[in-house]
Amino acid sequence: MVRKKRALVAATAALLAGVVATARTARAEETVYDFGVLPQVATAKVAEQWVPFLDKVSEMSGVKLRFVTAPSISEFGTRAKAGAYAFYYHNTLAYVQQDDQYSAFAREVGAKTVGVLVVAKDSKLSKLADLKGATVAIPSAGSFGAAVLPLFAIQKEGGLELQKDFKVVVAGSHEAGYQAVLQGKAVASGGLTRTFELLPKETRSKLRVLYTTKAYSPLPFAARKDVPADAVAKVQKALASFAKDPANQRMLEALNMKTGFEAAKPSDWDDVRHARDELLRVTKAITAK
C-alpha cells in the first residue's frame, strides 16, 4: 500500500512537473512581434500614445505585439527597409517602395495623408511664391506628407526651385519642425494636418497653416510578408473592431484617429504608386549636394 501511494505521489509530481514545463515552453515559444511606429513626434510622446493602444490590440487579437520606434524618422525608414519590423505604421511613400517586403492590411477610416506648410501666426506670407529666399524645415527627406508633398507644391505651384530659390533644413520630427518656426530657425515647416492638430493648444495658437496639399491615401498598417497570415488576420480584425468599444475612445483620441480603423489591401495605395516617380524626384533634390 505504501509503495502504491509513493508511486501515485511520484506520478502526480511528474505530471505536474510536465504541465509546468509545458506551460513554460509554451510561454517561451510564444511569438512576440515587433510593431514599428513612425516617430512623427518626440519618441517619448509616440510611446505614450501607442503603447496602451498596442497593448489593447494585443489583448483583443491574441497576438503579442511589442511597441518599437526609432530615434528619428530617417532611422526608422532605414530599419523598415531592412525588414526590422514585423508590423509597422509607416510613411506612405516608403511603403509603396517596399511592395516586395510589406503588405498593407488596415487603414484609418476616412483618413487621408494631407500635408501642410505652417508659418508663424504673425507671418506676412500669403502664398507659396513668398517663400523665395526662405528656409523651410522638414521632418526628414523621405517624409511623404510633411516634406515631399509640401516641397513639390512649392516648386510646381510656387514656381520656386528647391535649393536654389529656397533652403531646406531637416528638423528630425514634425514637432521639431514646428518648433523651428517658433524659434525663428525656419520661416515655414512641412507637417501633416494630423500632427499639427496634436500640438498643444498654446503652441498651435502661435502658428497658422499657409498651404494645404492634395490628399493621398493615409499611412498604412502593414505586415512583413513572412508574418503568418492568421496573425495578420487577427490583428486586422482587432483594429477593425477597436472603435466599437466606447472604452477605447480615449486611446483613439490620443492618437487623433477618432474614427477607428478598417481592413485594407495593397491596391488602396495605388494613388501614391502612380505619383511615385515624380514625387521621388523631390526626395533626391532634398539630398542633392
Pairing state of beta strands 261-263 and 102-108? antiparallel
Which residues are CB-neighbours of 212 under 8 A, at least 6 positions away?
114, 115, 116, 193
Per-residue model confidence (pLDDT) at position 198: 87
Going by pLDDT thresholds of 50, 70 and 90, the confidence category of residue 7 is very low
Query: CA neighbours within 13 Å on the CB side: how many for 166?
Result: 27
Long-range contact set of residues 28-31: C-beta below 8 Å, sequence gap at least 24: 30/64, 31/64, 31/231
Question: pLDDT: is 10 or 173 the higher one?
Answer: 173
pLDDT at 10 over 50: no
| Pairing of the two strands 221-224 and 32-37 | unpaired
Which residues, at least 6 apart from 195, have a Cβ–Cβ distance to it below 8 Å? 40, 41, 146, 174, 175
The order of strands in the sheet holding 221-224 is 64-68, 32-37, 87-89, 221-224, 102-108, 261-263
Q: How many residues comprise the chain?
A: 289
pLDDT, the chain, mean: 89
Q: Is the pLDDT of residue 8 over 70?
A: no
Q: What is the SS3 assignment for 216?
A: strand
Residue 61 has pLDDT above 80, yes or no: yes
- 28-42, 120-134, 187-201, 262-276: segment of lowest average pLDDT: 28-42
pLDDT in tens, 81-98: 999 999 999 999 999 999
pLDDT of residue 209: 98
Q: What is the pLDDT of residue 204?
A: 96
Burial of 268 (0-12, 13-18, 19+ CB in 10 A): middle
262 has a pLDDT exceeding 80: yes
Domains of the chain by start residue, with CATH? 31-112+218-278 (3.40.190.10), 113-216 (3.40.190.10)
Give the global pTM. 0.78
H or E element in which residue 254 lies: helix 249-255
Average pLDDT over residues 131-151: 93
Share of the chain above pLDDT 90, in %: 78
φ and ψ of 281, to 5 deg: -65, -30
CA angle 98, 118, 192 (to 5 degrees): 30
Amino acid at the residue 93: L
Other C-beta atoms within 10 Å of 90: how many?
24
pLDDT tens-digit profile of 172-211?
A: 899 999 999 999 999 999 999 989 998 999 999 999 999 9
Identify the CA nearest to 257 among candidates 32, 36, 54, 35. Answer: 54
The contacts of residue 15 (CB under 8 Å, 6+ apart) are: none
> At 29, is the pLDDT very low, low, confident or very high (cuts 50, 70, 90)?
low
